[in-house]
Structure 1
Amino acid sequence: MANILVLEDDEIFASLLQVSLEQAGHFPIICEDATETIAQYKEYDFDLVITDLIVKKNNRAIPDGGVMVISFLQGRARDGHPIPPIIAMSGATQRPGLEQLLVTSKDLGATATLTKPFEPAELLALIDQLLQPLT
């Protein structure tokens, strides 16, 4: 099916994503930080990117990991490179000031957003919708 690049620093949630994606026939590569995600993107071809917006850096949650990935991909698009659809996700929408983060990710170029927690079926339906021309 699809090669999917995932930025998720929570080990348990990353494992759940990996299992759900693999059971649906996809081939996920899971990364823990934005730098690793960008390096993987440069190395391989991906049909879709899923990025958490809040990732840890030096054991501190910072709202720039996913934004960094989205900005990198949009920079490639401005340079004329085709980029895959991007799903931005965050569970930090209950924190003051961070509820706007998912909206901002759309403004930066995310194709779709998801608020954690979500059901695997919701993610898989969104992936099918975004990859419809590929299936």
Structure 2
Amino acid sequence: MQKILVVEDDFDIQELLQNFLQEAGYEVTTANDGVEAITVFSDRQFDLILLDIMLPKIDGFSVCELIRKQSQVPIIMLTALNGEEEQIRGLDLQVDDYITKPFSMPILIRKTAAVLRRSSGPHEDEHKTIAYQNLILDCDNYTATVNGAAYELTQREFEVLKELLTNQGRILTRQNLLDKLWRYDFYGDERVVDTHIKNLRKKLGIEFIQTIRGVGYKIDKEN
């Protein structure tokens, strides 16, 4: 049974989340504030974290930052803050998805299942690598090696880069990437794709992802 940590200080929402997730077949542990979340996470292993931003003691952004120093466990942020700045900050902290309150429980359950499905990875990709110029993409460990230096990517960063590499020579629009990678569990601004591309370029120091202005992105076929 997959284990989910729910970090939410509103007890009504916390109880609702716990009940729906348990009915969906997940084992649920709850935390009421940021300090408790870090303590519980340090003591146990989880498959996914549902993390509210507006928490007592330590806010959700800080909790996420602390967790990311030791784990790439999937994180879905829950928030009443729906501004672009907050979403970009969450993406910079490598969250896997973003759900704005008030939210639909059926949609939340589907988003949770989608993130868990992506984090498990398709079996056919095990031990597979993709090489391009000075980059090697490890499909088993979700890492990228550039000039011999290894970099850990978030689930979504990896998927975006892999999709571009497996479609060399083809322009992929933002909508192409959203439809393929986010599927039905995305209800936000398509510019979220731009943020992931920006993060990949900065993290890996690569220049071969081309921006096709007003359309999308492309990686040329390697000769």
Unaligned runs of 5+ in 2: 122-223
Tell me the amino acid that sits aligned with residue 119 of structure 1: S
- Any idea what the Cα deviations from partners look like across 1:35-56, whole Å, max 9, x if unmatched? 1001111101100011001123
- Which AA in structure 1 matches 2:94? G
Written as runs of structure 1 = structure 2, the 5 A alignment for 1:17-56 is 17-56=17-56
Q: Residue in 1 aligned with 2:91? A: 106
Contact in 2 for aligned 1:4/1:47 (Cα 8 Å): yes
Contact 1:88–1:102, Cα closer than 8 Å, also in 2: no
- TM alignment of 1:82-121, pairs within 5 A: 83-93=72-82, 100-121=85-106
Give 3-state SS (helix, strand or coil) of 2:25's partner: coil
Question: How many angstroms apart in 2 are the aligned matches of 1:56 and 1:35?
Answer: 8
In 1, Cα distance between equivalents of 2:23 and 2:49: 18
Question: Is the partner of 2:76 in helix, strand or coil?
Answer: strand
Q: Counterpart of 1:85 in structure 2: which amino acid?
A: P
Rounded to whole Å, the distance in 2 between the matches of 1:90 and 1:126 is: 15
List alignment gaps of at least 5 residues for structure 1.
Answer: 58-63, 78-82
TM-score under structure 1 length normalisation: 0.81
> 2:13 maps to which residue?
13
TM value normalised by structure 2: 0.50
Structure 1: which amino acid aligns with 2:75?
A: I
C-alpha deviation, 1:99, in angstroms:
5.3
Larger Rg, first or second structure (1 or 2)? 2
User: After superposition, where does 1:40-79 map in structure 2 within 5 Å?
Assistant: 40-57=40-57, 65-77=59-71
Question: CA–CA distance in 1 between the matches of 2:59 and 2:9?
Answer: 10
When the two chains are superposed, the root-mean-square deviation of aligned CA atoms in Å is: 1.6
Percent pairwise identity: 29
CA distance in 1, matches of 2:81, 2:74: 22
Show CA shifts across 1:4-49 (max 9, x none): 0111000111011011111101111111111100111110110001
Q: Is the 8 A contact 1:89 1:102 kept in 2?
A: no
Matched letter for residue 104 of structure 1: R
> What secondary structure, in the 3-state scheme, does the structure 2 residue paired with 1:46 have?
coil
Match of 1:124 in 2: 109
**Secondary structure of the equivalent of 1:76?**
coil
Regions of 4+ moved over 2 Å: none
